[in-house]
């Protein structure tokens, strides 16, 4: 029997990167999956995947599009058990000293809308179905929800904010719904920058990015999205983690155990 046999999940930002790996792994494990994604081309690619997937084009920062995604998923698959939020934008480490002051308002609104507000809208839209089915929620955080320097002040503060959301929603939704998070470390994806800063680039194209990632964590990992997918499976499935709520799993190569002087003992 597959882990998600008979279960239905909604993944926001499931069109690429970590979200797409979650979609593929969930489908392989028997889930029927709804995806809310803003990029049309990624949606077309999702529709080519084998499995029961309903791909909804929309903006996860809006109440309306999240409601549409939940409605279409439930209309097609008759229920919803799991919500996974994987949308996100990065700030490419722009430090406050280098920030043009006239850009702070727009950049703050953009990053908090996507990285924080969208999670709240997705949760609100899925709430009643998840309570009915005693389901679970998994939010995507980051090493930047725990440590500095994986982003600038906007990205890091937006990811710390999601730790608050994990705690509050786990409290509010107990005993019916478990709420947890995954905090991936640096991962080779096309994570994009802020339109308000004209950051028309993606993470994988940063020169020397692999070496930078590898040298920064004790396990010397250069992660690909699939490396995190089973952490989402574990936290989502009632059968695998029935007693786990309000927790964030760090899937980051051991950033919390970096030594002083050298990153890892055997380096």
Q: Which residues are catalytic?
A: 155
Of positions 16, 73, 236, 250, contacts ligand NAD by CB under 6 A: 16
| Binding residues among 110-149 for ligand NAD as defined by CB under 6 A | 114, 118, 140, 142
- 201 Cβ contact list (under 8 Å, min separation 6): 92, 192, 193
Q: How far is the CB of 59 from ligand NAD (least distance, A)?
A: 5
Q: Tell me whether residue 133 or residue 196 sits nearer to ligand NAD (CB atom).
A: 196
Binding of ligand NAD by 87 (CB under 6 A): yes
Helix (H, G, I), strand (E, B) or coil at 135: coil
152 binds ligand NAD (CB under 6 A): no
Q: Which residues of 43-52 are buried (b: 16+ CB within 10 A; e: fewer)?
A: beebeeeeee
Q: Pick from 4, 7, 61, 237 the residue near ligand NAD by CB under 6 A.
A: 61
Identified binder of ligand NAD from the candidate list 24, 29, 37, 227, rule CB under 6 A: 37
Q: What span, in angstroms and rounded, lies between the C-alpha atoms of 85 and 215?
A: 28
Query: Of residues 197-256, which lie at the interface with ligand NAD (CB under 6 A)?
Result: 203, 225
Q: How far is the CB of 42 from ligand NAD (least distance, A)?
A: 5
Q: Choose which of 190, 195, 215, 240 interacts with ligand NAD (CB under 6 A).
A: 190
Residues facing 182 on adjacent strands: 140, 249
Please give the Cα distance from 37 to 56 (Å, whole number): 6
Nearer to ligand NAD, 86 or 179 (CB): 86
List the one residue out of 134, 37, 26, 3 whose CA is nearest residue 81. 134
φ, ψ at 264 (rounded to 5°): -135, 155
Spell out the residues 6+ positions from residue 209 whose beta carbon is closer than 8 angstroms to its own.
186, 188, 203
Region binding ligand NAD by CB under 6 A among candidate stretches 3-11, 33-41, 100-108, 124-132: 33-41
57, β-bridge pairs: 37
Q: Which residues bind ligand NAD (CB under 6 A)?
A: 13, 15-19, 36-39, 42, 59-61, 86-88, 114, 118, 140, 142, 184, 186-187, 189-192, 203, 225
């Amino acid at each position: 029997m597959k882990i998600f046999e008979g279960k239905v999940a909604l993944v926001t930002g499931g069109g690429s990167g970590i979200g797409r790996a979650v979609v593929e792994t969930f489908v392989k494990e028997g889930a029927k999956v709804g995806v809310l994604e803003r990029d049309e081309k990624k949606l077309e690619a999702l529709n080519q995947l084998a499995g029961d997937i309903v791909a909804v084009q929309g903006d996860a920062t809006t109440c309306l599009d999240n409601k549409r995604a939940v409605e279409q998923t439930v209309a097609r698959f008759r229920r919803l058990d799991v919500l996974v939020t994987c949308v996100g934008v990065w700030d490419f480490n722009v430090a406050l000293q280098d920030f043009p002051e006239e850009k702070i308002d727009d950049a703050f609104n953009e990053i908090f809308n996507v990285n924080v507000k969208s999670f709240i809208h997705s949760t609100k839209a899925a709430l009643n179905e998840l309570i009915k089915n005693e389901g679970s929620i998994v939010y995507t955080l980051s090493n930047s929800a725990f440590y500095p320097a994986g982003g600038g002040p906007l990205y890091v503060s937006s990811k710390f904010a999601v730790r608050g959301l994990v705690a509050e929603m786990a409290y509010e939704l107990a005993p019916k719904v478990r709420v947890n998070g995954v905090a991936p470390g640096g991962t080779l994806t096309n994570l994009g920058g802020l339109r308000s800063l004209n950051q028309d680039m993606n993470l994988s194209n940063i020169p020397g990015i692999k070496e930078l990632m590898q040298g920064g964590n004790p396990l010397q990992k250069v992660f690909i999205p699939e490396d995190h997918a089973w952490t989402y499976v574990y936290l989502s499935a009632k059968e695998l983690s029935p007693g786990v709520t309000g927790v964030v799993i760090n899937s980051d190569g051991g950033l919390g155990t970096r030594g002083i002087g050298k990153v890892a003992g055997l380096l």
